[in-house]
Homo-oligomer: A and B are copies of this chain.
Amino acid sequence: MNVELICVGTELLLGNILNTNAKYISEKCAELGLSMFYQTVVGDNPDRLKDCILTALGRSDCIITSGGLGPTNDDLTKEIITEALGLKLVEDKETVDRLYYFFNKISRPGQSMTPNNLKQAMVPEGCTVLTNKNGTAPGILIEKDGKTVIMLPGPPRELVPLFEEYCIPYFLKKSNETIYSVMVKLVGIGESEAAARIDDILNNSTNPTVAPYAKTAEVHLRITAKAHDEEQAKAMIEPVFERIKDVLGPYIYSTDEEETLEDAIIHLLNEKGLTITTAESCTGGLLAGRLINVSGASDVYKEGFVTYSNEAKAKRLGVSKDTLDTFGAVSEECAAEMARGAAMAAGTDIGVSTTGIAGPLGGTPEKPVGLVYIGIYYNGGTKVIKTNVPRGRQEIRERTVVRALDLIRTTVLQY
C-alpha cells in the first residue's frame, strides 16, 4: 500500500513553521511498512488544493492530509475532498454535541462558540469520524472506490494523538502484519557519539531497524521489528536491544515510550523515598517546571526557589556574602551553597541548583555566555558540574535543565 501526504497550509508555504507533521507521519508510515512516494504542501486555495487531491487520488492508494480543517472560511480541505470524491457533507451529531460541550466548559470571554465552529461538525457521508480530544476539528477517515483518504487537523498536538489512536490500528489491520517497537531513551551522551558507538548496528539494521532521534540534550533510539505477531517481533528486538545496552547501558534512563526524563527521576526518587528541592538562577523556574510536569510529583517535590538576584540567593538560600564577593554568583562555590542552602531551607534530602550566564548579554572572557554551574546536595555532600554551551539563551537554559535532571539521576543511582 502506498501513501501520499498532502499538507495544507499557507503558513508552510510562507515558511512560518517547520513541517513537523510531515516528518512524523513519514516516520510512522515507514515503520508500518507503507511506501510514501510523494509529499505535497499546498495552500488554502480551492483550485490548487483540488488539483493536488485529484493528482494524488490518481497515483496513490491512500491520501493523508494535514491541516485546513479549522473553523474559518479559509479552511477548505474537507469541502474539496468531499467534492472530489463525489460525496456530500452531512452534520455529525456527536461532533455537534462535543463542540457544545467543549465551548460550555470554557467559561472565558472571547472563546465562545461561533456559527463558524459548527462548520467543523460537517463530515463527508459514510466516513468514520476520528474523535479529536485535543481540539475542535475531528479527523476523518473515508474509503471509496478502493482509495482511502484520511484528513487530520494541522496542530501536531491534535494530529499525533489521532494518528496513534486511529490510523496506526487501521493500517495494521489492513496489512495483516504487526509492528512492534521499543524506544531506548538516553541522556548524558551526544547524538554523534551515541551513533558512532553503535555504528555497526545502525548501518546493518533492516528488520529490526534502529533509528536515532535527537531531542534537546537527549538521544532516543527506536528499535522497530515487523513480524506476524507481537511475540515474534519482540523476540527479534531482544538481541538488538541487548547489544545496545552493552555499549550504552549507563546512559539509558528509560525504555518506556511514555516515560519522560522527569518521570524517570520522580519515579526513582519516589522509589528511594527521597525528597528534592530546586534553587534556580539562570534556568529561572524551568527545572522546577519540568519536575512538576509529573503528575504526583508532590510526594517528592514540595517547593522550590527562583533566586535570580544575589540578594535572593543570600536571603533564601544562605549563600555567603564572601562567596558572592569573591567568586561571584556564577561559580562552583555559589552553585554548591545554593544546592545545600535550598535543601536546608526546604528540609529535603536533595537540593539542585543552577547558576550561569544565559546571555545574550553579561558574558566576559572569564565567564562567557553559556557557562553554567549545576550543583547538587545529597547525603551531606555537594557536587558541582561545570558546563559550557555557547548557544542561544533558550537553548542554554533548556540544556541546563536536562543536564541538571541527569545529575539528579546519576547521583541518586550512585548511592
Q: List 10 A-B contacts (CB under 8 A).
A: A15-B29, A16-B222, A102-B390, A110-B251, A134-B395, A293-B394, A295-B362, A297-B308, A302-B308, A304-B305
Q: Is there an interface contact between B289 and A213, defined as CB atoms closer than 8 Å? A: no
Residues of B within 8 A of A20 (CB): 18
A114 touches which of B30, B192, B311 (Cβ 8 Å) = B192
A410 close to B (CB within 8 Å)? no
How far apart sit A304 and B289, CA to CA, in the bound complex (Å)? 13
Pair A13/B26 contact, Cβ less than 8 Å: yes
Asked if A18 and B23 make an inter-chain contact with CB atoms under 8 angstroms apart, the answer reads yes
B19 and A19 within 8 A (CB): yes
A117: chain B residues within 8 A (beta carbon): 192
Contact B295 A289 (CB under 8 A): no
Task: Report yes or no: B38 in contact with A214, Cβ–Cβ below 8 A.
Answer: no
User: Are B311 and A302 in contact, with the CB atoms below 8 A?
Assistant: yes
A311 to B: closest C-beta gap in Å: 7
CB of A318 within 8 A of chain B? no
Query: Is residue A90 within 8 Å, beta carbon to beta carbon, of the partner chain?
Result: no
Q: Mark A5-39, 1 if CB is under 8 A from B, else 0.
A: 00000111111111110111111111000001111
Which of the candidate stretches A168-176, A235-243, A278-286 sits at the interface with the other chain? A278-286
Is there contact, CB below 8 Å, between B284 and A289? yes
- Could you tell me the distance between the alpha carbons of A292 and B386 in the complex, rounded to whole angstroms? 21
Distance between Cα atoms of A303 and B304 in the complex (Å): 11
User: What 1/0 mask marks residues of chain A from 383 to 402 whose CB sits below 8 Å from any chain B CB?
Assistant: 00011111111110100000
The reply to whether the CB of A128 lies closer than 8 angstroms to some CB of chain B is no
A41 partner residues in chain B, CB cutoff 8 A: 22, 38-40
> In the assembled complex, how far is the CB of residue A75 from the closest CB belonging to chain B, in whole angstroms?
10
Q: Is B288 within 8 A of A116, CB to CB? A: no
For A22, A23, A72, A303, which residue has the most chain B Cβ atoms within 10 angstroms? A303
Q: Flag the segment in A42-50, A76-84, A142-150, A225-233 that touches B.
A: A42-50
How many monomers of this chain does the complex have? 2
The complex places the Cα of A222 from the Cα of B14 at a distance, in Å, of: 11
Contacts of A222 in B (CB 8 A): 14, 16
Q: B-facing mask of A150-193, CB < 8 A → 1, else 0? A: 00000101000000000000000000000000000000111111
A74 on the interface (CB 8 Å rule)?
A: yes
A326 contacts which chain B residues (CB < 8 A)? none
Residue in B closest to A280 when the chains form the complex, CB atoms: B285
Contact A289 B285 (CB under 8 A): yes
A89 contacts chain B at the CB level, 8 A cutoff? no
* Given A19-B18, A116-B192, A302-B311, CB of A292 within 8 Å of CB of B284: yes
Encoded as 1 (CB less than 8 Å from any B CB) or 0, chain A from 267 to 301 comes to 00000000000101011111111011101111001
Q: 0/1 per residue, A245-285, Cβ < 8 Å to B?
A: 00000010000000000000000000000000010101111
- The answer to the question of A234 belonging to the interface, with a C-beta cut-off of 8 Å to chain B, is no
User: In the assembled complex, which residues on chain B have CB atoms less than 8 Å from the CB atom of A414?
Assistant: none
* Complex contacts, A199 vs chain B, CB 8 Å: 73
Do A193 and B38 touch (CB < 8 A)? no
20 extra A-B contacts, CB within 8 A, seeds A134-B395, A284-B304, A298-B309: A11-B213, A15-B27, A19-B19, A70-B191, A72-B192, A105-B370, A105-B388, A105-B390, A110-B194, A114-B192, A134-B391, A155-B214, A284-B288, A288-B306, A292-B306, A293-B393, A298-B308, A301-B308, A304-B305, A304-B308
**Shortest beta-carbon contacts, A-B, top 10:** A15-B27, A284-B292, A285-B285, A15-B26, A285-B288, A303-B312, A304-B306, A39-B41, A302-B309, A285-B289
Do residues B37 and A12 form an inter-chain contact, with CB atoms below 8 A? no
Min CB distance, A189 to chain B, in Å? 4
